Amino acid sequence: LGISWMKRFVDNDTRYSPFICGTEYNRVVSSFEVSRSYNNCPY
């Protein structure tokens, strides 16, 4: 998630958006059982 965030916002590479806020993000969050209250999408 950290690398995806840096690529998205530092390099302005929108290809990484799904890893920050999308299906890949939701898969990772669900696997770690993180509370949905931390979901701050869209960015």
Using alpha carbons only, what angle is made at residue 33 by residues 28 and 5, rounded to the nearest 5 degrees? Answer: 35
Kindly report, residue by residue over 13-27, the tens digit of the pLDDT.
999 888 888 777 777
| Phi-psi domain of 34 (left: phi exceeds 0; alpha: psi -120 through 50; beta: other) | beta
Terminal Cα distance for the chain, rounded:
13
Structural domain boundaries in the chain: 1-30
Give 4 or 31, the one with higher predicted confidence: 4
Give 18 or 11, the one with higher predicted confidence: 11
